[in-house]
Amino acid sequence: MTEKQMATEKIGADVVANPSPAKSMGDPGITPLSPSHTQQNNTEQVQSEPSFVVVVAIDFGTTSSGYAYAFTKEPECIHTMRRWEGGDPGVSNQKTPTTILLTPDRKFHSFGYAARDFYHDLDPSESKHWLYLEKFKMKLHTTANLSIDTDLHAANGKRVKALDIFAYALAFFKEQALKELSDQTGSEFDNNDVRWVITVPAIWKMPAKQFMREAAYKSGLVSRENAEQLIIALEPEAASIYCRKLRLHQMVDLGTHTTQNGFSPTDNVGSGMAQGDRYVVVDCGGGTVDLTVHQIRLPEGHLKELYKASGGPYGSIGIDYEFEKLLCRIFGQDFIDQFKIKRPAAWVDLMIAFESRKRAAAPERTNPLNINLPFSFIDYYKKFRGHSVEHALRKSNVDFVKWSSQGMLRMSPDAMNSLFKPTIDHIIQHLTELFEKPEVSNIKFLFLVGGFAESPLLQQAVQNMLQGRSRIIIPHDVGLTILKGAVLFGLDPSVIKVRRSPLTYGVGVLNRFVEGKHPAEKLLVKDGTRWCTDVFDTFIAADQSVALGEMVKRSYTPAKPSQQVIVIHVYCSEKEIVGFISEPGVKKCGTLRLDVSGTESTAPRREIQTLMQFGDTEIRAMAVDVSTGRTVKASIDFLSH
C-alpha cells in the first residue's frame, strides 16, 4: 500500500512534549512519536459483536420517514412497517411524512400524518400556539457550526432546540417499532435485543452524524454506554447493498423498460454483475442527492468505494421552493410571508395540494395541472390586498399560471417543468462532473433510488445525459430501497470493505525546523532547539482508500506528568495535500480527548498510543497507556460547543 508508506514517510520522527507557545488556542504542541498506519485484522470487532435478535432500521428522511426490520434468524425476510393511518391522494407509500407537532407547552404530541391532520383541524386562533415542524432534517446539513444548541423554527415562527425535535422523532419510532415487534412475537419486546440503524446522507459531515447519535442517546433509543447498539448507515451505501441483491423482476431497466432483460426473472442483478463491475448509486431524496461509486468483489459480493461520496442539497424540496418563489411573484413576498405565519395550517394544505400535482409532472404531459387554493388563502389575500386572487393573477406578468373558474391555480405543463429545472440541472451537472473523473470510468449500471427517482422528468434527464453509457436501473419499491438496504447493513456491517475519506484529517504538530524547507515565520526556538510550528500531521487524505478496521496510529505524551486530560484539536480540509494548519481551507473541525487520569505511572515518560479508525461510517478513537497497558478513555468530538 503506497498510501500507507506515504503516510508514514511524511512526518519526521522528531518528537517534543513541550507545549508550543505558537498555539494560543490551547492546543498542546504535541508531536507524534510513532506515525504509522496499521491494518488491524478484524479480531477486535468479532469479539465485540453483541448478539441481537432483530435489526431495526430507521430512515429519517427530509420529507418522509419510516422503519423496517429483520430478525437475525431470518435475514432474508425484511418487514416494512405497518400501514400508517392517514395518507394523501396520489401518494402511495409505506412511509409517513417527517412532520412533528408539539403542544403549546412544548410536549411531544404526534408525528407524521397524525401530526399533520391534527394540526390542520385546529382552529387558527389555537393553531398559532402549537409548534408544527416539517422538512427540518436539512438544517443539519446547512448549519455551518452545528452544535447541541442549534435551533429550528416551527411553522408559527417560534424557536425550538433541534436536538429535542430529533430525539422526539426517534423516540416515536422506537415506540412504534417495539410495539410492532411485541405484537409479532407475542410478548413484551426488550429494546436490548434490537440493533438500531439510522440512515443519513453520505455527504453529511461528521458533526451531523454525531448529532444524530446524540439525539438517539437523548431519545433513549440506545445508551451512551451501549453505543455500539446503534450504527449509522449512509443512505446511498444502504441502497447499494440492496440493489446488488435485486432480482430482475424487482426493477425496471429504463433503456428497455422491461423487467426481465434477457435473464430469467429470478436472477439477481448480481447475475448480470461480474467480478469487478462498477456501478453508481444516485440517491435522490427530499433534501439531498447523494452519489456513490462502488465496485463489487465476488464471490462474497463485498463492496469497495471507488470515489468519495459527492452530491448536494438538490432534493425534491427544491421544487417546493421554486413553487413558493412563483407564488411570491404572483401574490407578493410580503403576503406569502404573512400568510405562512398567520395561517400556517392552510399553508401546509397548499403545499400538500402542490405535492400531488408535482408527482403528476411528466415530459410528455400536455394538459394543465390544477392546484387547489385553500379558501383561507383566497379570503386572507382579499383582506390583505383589498382585491381578489383572480385580479392578482391577471395583473401579474406570469402568463403560464391562470385562474380557473373552479377556484384553482391552473399551471401549464411547461410552468410545472420550469419549477423542476433548477433542481434537475444541479443533479445533471453533478453527474456529468462525476462521470468525467478517471476513477468513474466503465460504469455498468446506474441505480436511481430515493423518492425523487420516481419523477419521470428526472429519469428522462438522466437518460439524456448518459446517452446509453450505462444501464439505468430503478428498483420497483424505489422509496423503500434505502430502508431495506439499511436493514441488510445492520445484519452485516462489514459488507463494505473499503471506503474513501471525504476529507483530509490531521492535527497540528511541531517538527524539527529544516532550513529551506520550512517557512521562516514558522520558526520557534525553545531551549536552543529550532522547531517548525503548525505542521499539519495528516491522519488520512481526502479520497484516500481506507479498509474497514484499518487504524491510524499515533503516540502522544502529556506535557506535564500531572496532566489529567490531553486535548488535541483535529483539523480538516477538502484538499488532498496539506502542509500547515494555517493554510486557507483548513479548519478546526473537532477535538480528540484522551482522559489520562488514573493512569499515572512511574515511567519517566508516559506514552499514550492512540488508534483512530476512518474506514467506517463514523470516525472512532481508542487509546492505550503503553507503559502500563491500561486502556485510556478516548473520544473524538465534532460538534462545536
Selection from 374, 433, 431, 370 nearest residue 404 by Cα: 370
Does the domain at 503-635 match CATH 3.40.1710.10? Answer given as no
- The model's pLDDT over 415-467, given as tens digits with 9 standing for 90+, comes to 999 999 999 999 999 999 999 999 899 999 999 999 999 999 999 999 999 99
Q: What's the pTM value of the predicted model, to 2 decimals? A: 0.87
Mean pLDDT of 327-339: 95
Using the Cα atoms of residue 432, residue 438, residue 440 and residue 441 in order, give the sign of their dihedral: positive
Cα-Cα-Cα-Cα dihedral sign, residues 162, 163, 166, 172:
negative
Average pLDDT over residues 473-493: 93
Alpha-carbon Rg for the chain in angstroms: 27
Q: What does pLDDT average to over the chain?
A: 86
**603-628 pLDDT, tens per residue?**
677 889 999 999 999 999 999 998 88
Q: Beta strand 64-71 with 79-80: parallel, antiparallel or unpaired?
A: antiparallel
CB atoms within 10 A of CB 516: 4
- Give the CA count within 13 Å in the CB-facing half-sphere of 63: 22
Residue located via cell numbers 475519506: 501
Beta-sheet pairing, 471-475 with 523-526:
unpaired
Confidence of residue 92 (pLDDT cuts 50, 70, 90): low
- How many whole angstroms separate alpha carbon 488 and alpha carbon 240? 10
Cβ atoms of 523 and 20 within 8 Å: the answer is no
Question: pLDDT class for 98, splitting at 50, 70, 90?
Answer: very high
Pairing outcome for strands 545-547 and 496-500: antiparallel
Contact assessment for residue 454 and residue 315, using Cβ atoms and an 8 Å cutoff: no
Is residue 258 helix, strand or coil? strand
Q: State the alpha helices, DSSP H only, in 541-592.
A: none
DSSP state of 622: E
Q: Taking the mean position of all CA atoms in its chain, how far away is CA 610?
A: 27
d(CA 195, CA 491): 9
CA nearest 580: which of 525, 510, 502? 510
What CA–CA distances, in Å, run from 605 to 13, 31, 528?
A: 17, 14, 21
Residues 320 and 479: their CA atoms lie apart, in Å, by 19
Average pLDDT estimate for 521-539: 92
Phi, psi of 277 (to 5 degrees): -65, 140
DSSP conformation class of 495:
G
Please say if the pLDDT value at position 182 is more than 60. Answer: yes
Mean pLDDT of 470-490: 93
Largest CA distance in the chain: 89
Is the pLDDT at 641 greater than 70, yes or no?
A: no
Domain range summary for the chain, segments of one domain joined by +:
54-234, 503-635
| Neighbour count for residue 139 (Cβ, 10 Å) | 21
Whole-angstrom distance, CA of residue 582 vs CA of residue 353:
51
- CATH class in words for 54-234: alpha beta
- Residue closest to 392 by CA, chosen among 325, 348, 323, 329: 329
Q: How many CB atoms lie within 10 A of CB 192?
A: 12
Q: What is the pLDDT of residues 256-280, one digit of tens each?
A: 765 433 333 445 555 567 788 999 9
pLDDT tens-digit series, residues 533-587:
999 999 999 999 999 989 999 998 887 777 889 999 999 999 999 999 999 999 9
- For 287-316, how does the pLDDT look when each residue is reduced to its tens digit (9 = 90+)? 999 999 999 987 788 999 999 999 999 999
Residue 596: which pLDDT band, with cuts at 50, 70 and 90? Answer: confident
Residue 18: its pLDDT value, please? 35
Average the pLDDT over 490-498 and give the result: 95
Confidence at 144, pLDDT banded by 50, 70, 90? confident
pLDDT beyond 80 at 181: yes
**In the predicted model, is pLDDT for residue 48 greater than 50?**
no
Name the nearest CA neighbour of 403 among 363, 353, 357, 368. 368
Contact 161, 149 (CB under 8 A): yes
Residue 523 phi/psi, 5-degree rounding, is -75, 135
- Most confident of the ranges 3-12, 19-28, 77-86, 612-621: 612-621
The reported pLDDT for the residue numbered 478 is 86
**Residue 101 has which C-alpha cell?**
407537532
Q: What percent of the chain has pLDDT over 90?
A: 68
How distant, in Å, are the alpha carbons of 293, 376, 478, 551 from that of 499?
10, 52, 24, 13
